[in-house]
Amino acid sequence: MDFTKEKITAEHSLERIYPKQLNQDEKSHQDVLDIHLERYEFASTQLRGTHILDIACGCGYGTALMAEAHPDKQFVGVDVDPLAVEYAREHYQADNLRYECGNGMDFQLFLSGNRYQQFDTIISLETIEHVPEPQKMVTHLLTQLSKEGVMIASVPTTPTVDGNPHHLHDFTVASFYRLFSASNYQAGETFEQIQYWEFKGLFSKKESKENRSQGVGRNIVKHYVKKPSALFFRVHSILTKGLNNRYLTAVFSK
């Protein structure tokens, strides 16, 4: 899939990536894209069955990557943002891929006769930490799986809420797994990524996000002024894992 030939029609951010709009002179932008692509490449090797759902697909580049690699499977990409879905339909369409606007908290793909599609694989990468009720979303999505289906999901497993205002929850590996074990799903294959910290523009006041560390320091200070007791989790993470962010992608099945 060529990510260099798309027309620019939507706003890029480091939370919602539009590959063509990455700053080619800023290495951290390419690093962010690469780490997302690596997750999709791992997920692509773990797909089961023929009906695949990608929840929170963004502008569709990752869903399209998998659809291109698996022309024998049928893919549905879903995102809550209508602009992202419109962009995906324009730039990342394929014969075995469709895009729908929807929310992972309650999405169902209805068929004729008041039936809804059961999926063999559901993918949800870097989504769970964004939603107000992670357990509710995971439990709902697992009900959309076929009997032998699997769910492939990822979360940060080091603190991010302190520096990223878009993240509502921090997870450890254990708390991530508990979201699925509540429905008797267990982790199988896993893929861990380590992203070392950057310090460029850490306390910048610029509105536009030029690199992934920009303004994070200011967010962190504000967070711990409001919640000083939460600082223990951050200190423990630094002492045990170092100056990096860690992300875990896991394949869950019964």
197-247 pLDDT, tens digit each: 876 655 555 554 555 555 566 778 787 888 888 888 889 999 999 999 999
pLDDT of residue 228: 85
Of 8-17, 56-65, 192-201, 237-246, give the lowest mean pLDDT range. Answer: 8-17
pLDDT of residue 44: 98
134 close to 179: Cβ distance less than 8 angstroms: yes
Of 67-76, 182-191, 193-202, give the lowest mean pLDDT range. Answer: 193-202
* Residue of 236 and 185 predicted with greater confidence: 185
pLDDT of residue 15: 63
Share the mean pLDDT of the chain. 86
pLDDT of residue 9: 43
pLDDT of residue 226: 83
pLDDT of residue 172: 95
Type of residue at 147: K
* Residue of 213 and 48 predicted with greater confidence: 48
Stretch 163-178: mean pLDDT: 91
CB proximity list for 154: less than 8 A, separation 6 or greater: 39, 124, 125, 126, 247, 248, 249, 250
What is the distance between the alpha carbons of residues 82 and 77, in angstroms, rounded to a whole number? 12
What is Dmax (Cα atoms) for the chain? 56
213 close to 243: Cβ distance less than 8 angstroms: no
Q: Which domains does the chain have, with CATH numbers?
A: 3-200+244-253 (3.40.50.150)
pLDDT of residue 3: 40
What are the tens digits of pLDDT across the range 93-140?
Answer: 999 999 999 999 999 888 766 678 999 999 999 999 999 999 999 999
Crossing angle of helices 231-241/216-226, nearest 10°? 130
Single pTM value for the model: 0.86
**Quick check: 30 pLDDT over 70?**
yes
Residue 188 DSSP label = E
> From edge to edge, which strands make up the β-sheet containing 145-156?
97-101, 74-79, 51-55, 119-125, 145-156, 244-253, 186-196
Of 21-35, 45-59, 175-189, 236-250, give the lowest mean pLDDT range. Answer: 21-35
Helix H or strand E segment including 54: strand 51-55
CA atoms within 13 A on the CB side of 7: 7
* Residue of 196 and 7 predicted with greater confidence: 196
pLDDT of residue 178: 98
pLDDT of residue 97: 98
**Quick check: 10 pLDDT over 60?**
no
pLDDT of residue 7: 41
